[in-house]
Amino acid sequence: LAKSFSLIPFAFVYVAQPSIMVIILYYLSVFFMVEMFYKKTLSQKIKKKAALIVLSVTLLIIIVQVFYPADNLKVNFINVGEGDCILIEAPNKINILIDGGGTPQSDFDVGSKIVIPYLRRKGINEIDLLILTHPHLDHLEGLLPVLKEFKVDMVLDSGLNCDSSEYKEFISLIIKKGIPYHKAKAGDNFIFSNNLEIFLLNPLYDSDFYCESDFNNASIVVKLFYKNTDFSFLPEI
C-alpha cells in the first residue's frame, strides 16, 4: 500500500538539507514562541505582534539563503570509494558533475546510494554539464542513475570506443532523453557566465587515435576559471 501511494505524482518532494544557521534559527523561534504564549502577563495583541515579527524574520532569512545564495564557487569531492566524483556548484545555480565513481568488483550501486542522495541533500535537481572523463567503470557507473533521474542539459564525453554494456547504456540514455552531446578535444571551451569558463587540456587527439589501453591517457582534463581562481581536474592521466 505504501509503495502504491509513493507512485502518485508529487506524493513526495526532495528538499535541500537546511544549513546549521537555519536549524538554530528554527529552534530559537519555536522556543521564543512557546515562551511568549505561556506568559500570562502579556496581552494577546503583544503576543500576536511578537509572533508575526519572529515568523517574518525567519522567513526572510530562509528566502535570502535560498534565492540569493552567496556569490561563491564550491568544489565538492564526493567520497565514492574507487574512482572519483566531483560536483562544482557555481553562482546562478550552475551545477557541473565530473564522473560518478563506480565499484566494478562489487554490486554496490554508488550512483543510487551515494551520488544521488548527495545531490538531493544539496537541493540539486538539474545538472548543467555532466562530464565523463573516460569510460572506465570506476568513473562511469555512478553517472547512470544520475542520467536516469535528473535533468541533464549537456553531456561532455571523451567519445572513446568502448564496448562495455555500461557505456552502451550511458550513450543509450543520452539518446533516449535527447541530451545534447559533445565529444571532447583539447582546446574546447565552454562559457557559462562572465566569471565561469571551462577549458579542456586533453584529449589531445581524436578518439579514434586511442586504443582501450590508452583510455587513461585520453581522459578529459578540465581547467576551470572563476574570477581570479582556477582549478585543474585531472583524472587518471
Secondary structure of residue 142 in the 3-state scheme: coil
Phi, psi of 195, rounded to the nearest 5 degrees: -110, -10
Is the CB of residue 109 less than 8 Å from the CB of residue 121?
Answer: no
pLDDT tens sequence across 152-170: 999 999 888 888 999 999 9
Q: Does the structure show a pLDDT above 60 at 119?
A: yes
- What value does the CA radius of gyration of the chain take, rounded to a whole number of Å? 23
pLDDT of residue 79: 92
DSSP 217: T
Q: CA distances (Å), 88 to each of 28, 146, 228, 231, in order?
A: 33, 15, 16, 11
Interior CA angle at 86 toward 95 and 147, to 5°?
60
Q: Does the structure show a pLDDT above 60 at 173?
A: yes
Contacts of 225 (CB under 8 A, 6+ apart): 196, 197, 198, 199
Cα distance between residue 176 and residue 148, in whole Å: 10
> Does domain 74-233 bear CATH number 3.60.15.10?
yes
Kindly state the cell numbers that stand for 91: 553562482
Secondary structure of residue 9 in the 3-state scheme: coil
Give percent of the chain with pLDDT exceeding 90: 46
Is residue 6 packed enough to be buried (19+ CB in 10 Å), middle (13-18) or exposed (0-12)?
A: exposed
pLDDT of residue 92: 84
Peptide bond preceding 235 in cis form (omega within 30 of 0): no
Is residue 18 packed enough to be buried (19+ CB in 10 Å), middle (13-18) or exposed (0-12)?
A: middle
pLDDT of residue 7: 53
Secondary structure of residue 53 in the 3-state scheme: helix
Q: Does the structure show a pLDDT above 60 at 10?
A: no
Cα distance between residue 98 and residue 156, in whole Å: 9
pLDDT tens sequence across 63-93: 766 666 667 899 999 999 888 999 999 988 8
Is residue 156 packed enough to be buried (19+ CB in 10 Å), middle (13-18) or exposed (0-12)?
A: buried
Cα distance between residue 17 and residue 118, in whole Å: 10
